[in-house]
Structure 1
Amino acid sequence: MAARILHRLRHALAGEGAREEPARGTAEAEDFPESSELEDDTEGLSTRLSGTLSFTSHDEEEEEEEEEEEEEEDGAGGELGQLPAPPGEAAGAEDGGRCRGWCWGRAGPGSRWDTGEPPRPPTADGGCPRAEWAPAGERAGGSGLLTRQLQELWRRSRGSLAPQRLLFEVTSASVVSERSSKYVLYTIYLIRSGRFDKAPAAIARRYSDFERLNRRLRCRFGCDMAGVAFPRKRLRRNFAAETIAKRSRAFEQFLSHLHSIAEIRRSPEFLEFFFLPDLRAAQRLTCTGMYREALAAWANAYRLQDRLGACASGRFLLTLAGLAVCHQELEQLGEAHGCCEQALQLLAAQDSHPLLGPFLQAHVHLAWKVGKDKRQSEARLQDLQDAGLPLQQPPTLKECLIKEALD
């Protein structure tokens, strides 16, 4: 992109060779009328892009740099083809892209070529003392100082971008009528900024669920919750569209505010508000043999804990156990084996966890079924037995799921 801009500039300079050199001093500020706008815009570049873009490869970075540069040039206040000729233009119009006095006469303060150093005169052979200022795109470093400045700004801004945030978005709200009650059910998606989730995590909660969470957190975190707003109850018009819309927005802000407070974000009250109902439903479905329905509930609980950063808890290991059991019952042995491997990685430093033995046994069995290496799990299982593991058969993963009490 920078090479194209400089190419246009060369043509403009060649076409304006017959013009008089503009007066110095008063006309200097008009030589590059877009320079002040461009400088102001690039200073706020990291702020404008913070939390809105995700980079995955170097090629994508280059494409985004070119697009951003083009936008700034288009909105800078003038076309490059209309710039007045720089000093020395008539003398050097046919020199194949040499300096033409740029380094001495055009790198003043406020210019886009200003690097904070005093300008240098041309070299003895008439060449440019700084190759990057030469307008010829084919020279070494001919991409231009502007492109390199933007590239460096992008690299610096990437380190200062806001970290990924978890967003809470109410995507729908429906009025549910039961025999003895009527309420609004809000569907909330958990979205990580800067990423595209193929399988988003979602929950469905009613006003009383939010109210219970608010009450529990205020009992435990009174000071932190003092500045957290919660939508109050209404005696009338609870099912009006306006009320539902306002509450939807209020619940989004309520959850975002809670998640921004570290102590609350890590608390069991906050975390279990999201995934405990799914775990209970998944456990019930697994015990009754409805493995396909249970698998969907276990999978959503897995995604919720992953979004919330709760992958180091005992609930997450229970979730992996449920996924492994359901996958195995549905003859999806590769997926079941993967769940066991992930659980054993989390249990690598633990030798006394109640789920360690069942996971090792399941992993050995599944590895034999799918033709994977099982020697490490067999050796670790033997070590546990040598260290005093009871000789009787430990419970299976499914038995552990059935016995687990989800308070």
Structure 2
Amino acid sequence: MASRILHRLRHALTKEGEPDGLPDCGSGVEEFPESSELEDDTEGLSTRLSGTLSFSSNYEDEEAEEEAPEGTGQDLGEAPPPELLGGASEDGEPGPPSAERQGSNMLTRQLQELWRKSRGSLVPQRLLFEVTNANVVNERSSKYVLYTIYLIRAGQFDKAPASIARRYSDFEQLNRLLRRRFGSAMAGVSFPRKRLRRNFTPETIAKRSRAFEQFLSHLHSRPEIRHSAEFLEFFFLSDLRAAQRLTCSGMYREALGAWANAHRLQDKLGACRSGHFLLSLAGLAVCHQELDRLAEAHAHSEQALRLLEAQDSHPFLAPFLQAHVHLTWMLGKDKRQAEAWLQRLQDTGLAGPQPPTLKELLVKQPLP
């Protein structure tokens, strides 16, 4: 088709440059080889083809497109050149046969319909559980396999994946607790059985790795289970315990990694409204402040205050406000709004005569 278009254009230009009365020699001229024509017209052809298929993202536009008469070009946004739609060219020669035009229009409509269906049936973002490593651990009194599981958001590049390390007994305990509480919902959930021997062969470890991935994915697909304390604490409770212990010992740099991983885990699991999430933000703010990373500490305290905006009686609110006022002042920012909020709590008696500092509350917070 490209060769035919270019030939007609050259034929028209030649015809315009001939003196009147000279015979038309176009019919007797041999066509140029197709390869040479494509080399000459590649850029021009791509320019004409660009924008031929223009799919609107507006649903009202889609309805208007469906009502447009076939072949008018209105269903394509911008009408393509006549020679590409099979109409008459500038030299008046007829375009391709009607069947070819109808086939082209049909293909375009099929592509548009496929686009609409695929856009309307987009799969929501899912959470993937992937066992990336399995190590056999030998201790004095026991031998077990430690599975490293990454939590990754599907459908996008996950800049900060979160990970956990669990052994078979941890999975077994989670399975037992959930079956006790959600008997009917757990009826169709399979769990790898314990073996009397060959537990440490590569084949067994590989099969269990895949089984644990499917087990966690199945649990996460059930709303009543994925929001339960048993399921959530399986992922981040051990990180919170370790982070709290390290913070109490003054090992802030080591504690920071545990607080950050617990924060990422809760974010991916959608547990950002719980007391555990506020505890993670408190840990991050305290550790960053102790390491003289004031901007990071300020950001985490600010995030916590946004979550506590309508909870004046929450025990974390006054400690977070105190820390936020101090960090805001250290960074040279306007602290009047936070001070007024803290003063209002003190005037109403919600803050207490002397509320604990964020660090004091952090180390004294009981964890199950």
Matches within 5 A, 1:13-92: none
8 Å contact kept, 2:161–2:264: yes
Structure showing greater Rg: 2
Distance 1:12 1:252 in 2: 61
Q: Which amino acid aligns with 1:114?
A: M
1:207 counterpart residue number: 168
1:361 counterpart residue number: 322
Give 3-state SS (helix, strand or coil) of 2:105's partner: coil
Give 3-state SS (helix, strand or coil) of 2:128's partner: strand
Q: Which amino acid aligns with 1:237?
A: R
8 Å contact kept, 2:312–2:350: no
- Relative to structure 2, which stretch is displaced further, 293-302 or 384-393? 384-393
**Match for residue 240 of structure 1 among 191, 201, 215:** 201
What CA deviation, in whole Å up to 9, does each residue of 1:289-315 have, x standing for no partner? 000000000000000000100001110
8 Å contact kept, 2:313–2:350: no
**Match for residue 106 of structure 1 among 96, 100, 111:** 100
**Match for residue 404 of structure 1 among 353, 358, 365:** 365
Distance 1:9 1:308, change over 3 A: farther
Residue ranges of structure 2 left out of the alignment (5+ in a row):
11-25, 28-83
Per-residue deviation, 1:8: 6.3
What CA deviation, in whole Å up to 9, does each residue of 1:205-243 have, x standing for no partner? 000000000000000000010000000000000000100
What CA deviation, in whole Å up to 9, does each residue of 1:249-282 have, x standing for no partner? 0000000000001100111100110000000000
**Is the aligned partner of 1:95 residue 2:90?**
yes
Per-residue deviation, 1:12: 9.3
**Is the aligned partner of 1:298 residue 2:259?**
yes
Distance 2:231 2:115 in 1: 37
Q: Which amino acid aligns with 2:314?
A: H
Per-residue deviation, 1:385: 1.0
2:308 counterpart residue number: 347
What CA deviation, in whole Å up to 9, does each residue of 1:38-75 have, x standing for no partner? xxxxxxxxxxxxxxxxxxxxxxxxxxxxxxxxxxxxxx
Distance 1:106 1:343, change over 3 A: same
Distance 1:387 1:263 in 2: 38
Distance 1:237 1:391, change over 3 A: closer
Structure with greater helix percent: 2
Distance 1:102 1:176, change over 3 A: same
Per-residue deviation, 1:102: 4.8
Distance 1:112 1:384, change over 3 A: same
8 Å contact kept, 2:345–2:351: no
Distance 1:11 1:318, change over 3 A: same
Give 3-state SS (helix, strand or coil) of 1:349's partner: coil
Distance 2:180 2:97 in 1: 68
Distance 1:213 1:107, change over 3 A: same
What CA deviation, in whole Å up to 9, does each residue of 1:178-199 have, x standing for no partner? 1100000000000000122222
Distance 2:96 2:186 in 1: 61
**Is the aligned partner of 1:266 residue 2:227?**
yes
- TM-score between the two structures when normalised by the length of structure 1: 0.68
- TM-score between the two structures when normalised by the length of structure 2: 0.75
Structure showing greater relative contact order (alpha-carbon pairs closer than 8 Å, 6 or more residues apart):
1
Distance 1:12 1:386, change over 3 A: farther
Q: What is the number of equivalent residue pairs in this alignment?
A: 298
Distance 2:204 2:184 in 1: 29
Matches within 5 A, 1:324-335: 324-335=285-296
The percent identity for this pair of structures is 71
Distance 1:254 1:9 in 2: 61
Q: Which amino acid aligns with 2:246?
A: L
**Match for residue 276 of structure 2 among 296, 315, 330:** 315
Distance 1:14 1:231 in 2: 72
**Match for residue 385 of structure 1 among 346, 349, 357:** 346
Give 3-state SS (helix, strand or coil) of 2:320's partner: helix
Per-residue deviation, 1:402: 1.2
Distance 2:310 2:2 in 1: 62
Per-residue deviation, 1:389: 3.4
Distance 1:99 1:327 in 2: 76
Distance 1:381 1:341 in 2: 14
Per-residue deviation, 1:154: 4.0
Distance 1:151 1:362, change over 3 A: farther
Distance 1:391 1:268 in 2: 30
Distance 1:99 1:206 in 2: 77
Give 3-state SS (helix, strand or coil) of 1:172's partner: strand
Distance 1:260 1:327 in 2: 35
Per-residue deviation, 1:95: 2.6
1:157 counterpart residue number: 118
Distance 1:397 1:275, change over 3 A: same
Distance 1:405 1:311 in 2: 19
8 Å contact kept, 2:256–2:287: yes
